[in-house]
């Protein structure tokens, strides 16, 4: 057993979050498990999500979808970032549904030689101005989809985490218009999906035939500033990150700490060296974050290094070398949260949980808190 640091994932909390969204949306739910399930672990989370009632899985990359198939998962999987030139035959042979956002992609997918017909979701750009058909949309005709089964049409909100923002309604209206175009091709029994986590929470009109839930199924808010934290939304954070104190030592006042001597102790204190760094996904700029031990927070002092960072435990701390500290958790006992670390690093909770590297093992339990 390697006891340096670990991510502890409560799969029961993911189950609870998915059931919450199922009850809220009253529609089929796609569990988004891209990016190693937002850092929580692709296969274990996917299996937990399906057991909790998710009807399908969403990933970005073809290799993520193949990994799920190799793990024995037979549920529908949509991969939406599989560009032209990819091994579309591998996808079709493995019953992986593909997003298409260009005529070139449609032509290549349609040209696959397989005993199975390719299943495609048309991705349309309704205002995100990222992926999706835009100028080419009016150029699609029947021969582009003749060898395909068009099973879905979808788009993505740019500002769903800002309820009441005018652009949301513009995108919703544009999506409805593009659905009419697809239906004019004869595809009247396809899955329409637009809602992400924020829209599922706040916009009943955009739920259509299926909702795609990503960050919120992990118990985190899509935007703390505009929507409140996960707890206020009825969600339960599933991830806790903890690490060992590699060393605890007492140092005098005015002691420089870390590369560049960017920080000095203001009084005699105990410092704790945490055996994690930016190689593990700890943001190098994290002023205002730290760890939780002895029933209180201990802030970072100095720069985060590749494999370690230093916290100021305080002169009266009883922490010892080898003790576990919580880097972030659900906040219920006063520890820092992924939201706190996101704010401290000038980023968001999404980045904090997804950037934790493979050097940190994932430990699964129904009850880790």
pLDDT tens across the length of the chain (369 residues): 568 999 999 999 999 999 999 999 999 999 999 999 999 999 999 999 999 999 999 999 999 999 999 999 999 999 999 999 999 999 999 999 999 999 999 999 999 999 999 999 999 999 999 999 999 998 988 888 889 999 999 999 999 999 999 999 999 999 999 999 899 888 889 999 999 999 999 999 999 999 999 999 999 999 999 999 999 999 999 999 999 999 999 999 999 999 999 999 999 999 999 999 999 999 999 989 999 999 999 999 999 999 999 999 999 999 999 999 999 999 999 999 999 999 999 999 999 999 999 999 999 987 654
Q: Where are the domains of the chain?
A: 11-219, 239-365
C-alpha distance from residue 234 to each of 121, 206, 216, 219 (Å): 31, 20, 10, 8
- Indicate if 218 belongs to the active site: no
What are the pLDDT digits (tens) for 316-368? 999 999 999 999 999 999 999 999 999 999 999 999 999 999 999 999 987 65
Q: What pLDDT, on the 0 to 100 scale, is given for residue 318?
A: 96
Tokens 């080898």 found at: 322
Give the predicted TM-score (pTM) of the model.
0.96
Q: What pLDDT, on the 0 to 100 scale, is given for residue 67?
A: 98
Tokens 């003749």 found at: 146
- Radius of gyration of the CA atoms of the chain, in A: 23
Would you report the helix, strand and coil content of the chain in percent, each value rounded to 5?
Answer: 35, 25, 45
Q: What pLDDT, on the 0 to 100 scale, is given for residue 369?
A: 46
Active-site entry in 249, 259, 264, 296: 259
Contacts (Cβ under 8 Å, ≥6 apart) of 292: 298, 325, 326, 327, 329, 333, 334, 335, 336
> Which bin fits 357, alpha (ψ -120 to 50), beta or left (φ > 0)?
beta
Tokens 């999987």 found at: 77
- Indicate if 187 belongs to the active site: no
Quick one: which of 99, 56, 92 has its CA closest to 74? Answer: 56
Dihedral sign for Cα 330, 336, 339, 342, please: negative
Active-site entry in 34, 119, 202, 244: 34
Question: How many Cβ atoms from other residues are within 10 Å of residue 155's Cβ?
Answer: 25
Task: Report yes or no: 330 and 367 within 8 Å, Cβ to Cβ.
Answer: no
Q: What pLDDT, on the 0 to 100 scale, is given for residue 1?
A: 59
Fold classified for 239-365: Lyase, Ornithine Decarboxylase; Chain A, domain 1 (2.40.37)
What are the pLDDT digits (tens) for 146-180? 899 999 999 999 999 999 999 999 999 999 999 99
Fold classified for 11-219: TIM Barrel (3.20.20)
**E strand or H helix at 344, and its extent?**
helix 338-344
């Amino acid at each position: 057993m390697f006891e340096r640091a670990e991510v502890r994932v409560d799969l029961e909390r993911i189950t609870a979050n998915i059931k919450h969204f199922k009850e809220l949306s009253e529609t089929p739910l796609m569990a988004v498990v891209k990016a190693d399930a937002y850092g929580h672990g692709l296969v274990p989370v996917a299996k937990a999500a399906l057991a909790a009632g998710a009807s399908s899985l969403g990933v970005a990359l073809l290799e993520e979808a193949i990994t799920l198939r190799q793990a024995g998962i037979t549920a529908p999987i949509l991969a939406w970032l599989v560009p032209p030139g990819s091994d579309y035959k591998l996808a079709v042979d493995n019953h992986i549904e593909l997003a298409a956002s260009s005529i070139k992609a449609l032509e290549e997918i349609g040209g696959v030689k397989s005993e199975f017909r390719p299943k495609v979701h048309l991705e349309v750009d309704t205002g995100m101005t990222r992926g999706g058909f835009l100028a080419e949309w009016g150029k699609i005709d029947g021969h582009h989809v003749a060898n395909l089964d068009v099973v879905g049409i979808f788009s993505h909100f740019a500002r769903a985490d800002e309820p009441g923002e005018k652009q949301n309604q513009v995108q919703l209206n544009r999506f409805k218009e593009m659905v009419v175009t697809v239906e004019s091709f004869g595809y009247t029994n396809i899955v329409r999906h637009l809602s992400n986590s924020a829209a599922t929470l706040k916009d009943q009109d955009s739920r259509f035939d299926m909702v795609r839930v990503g960050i919120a199924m992990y118990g985190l808010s899509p935007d703390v500033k505009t929507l409140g934290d996960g707890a206020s939304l009825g969600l339960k954070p599933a991830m806790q990150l903890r690490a060992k104190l590699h060393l605890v030592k007492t140092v005098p006042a005015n002691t420089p700490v870390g590369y560049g001597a960017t920080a000095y102790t203001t009084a005699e204190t105990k410092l704790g060296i945490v055996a994690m760094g930016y190689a593990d996904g700890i943001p190098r700029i994290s002023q205002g974050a730290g760890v939780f031990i002895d029933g209180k927070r201990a802030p970072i002092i100095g720069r985060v290094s590749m494999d370690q960072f230093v916290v100021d435990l305080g002169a009266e701390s009883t922490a010892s070398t080898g003790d576990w500290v919580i880097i972030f958790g659900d906040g219920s006992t006063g520890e820092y949260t992924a939201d706190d670390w996101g704010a401290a690093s000038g980023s968001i909770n999404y980045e904090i949980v997804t950037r934790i590297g493979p050097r940190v093992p994932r430990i699964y339990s129904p009850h880790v808190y």
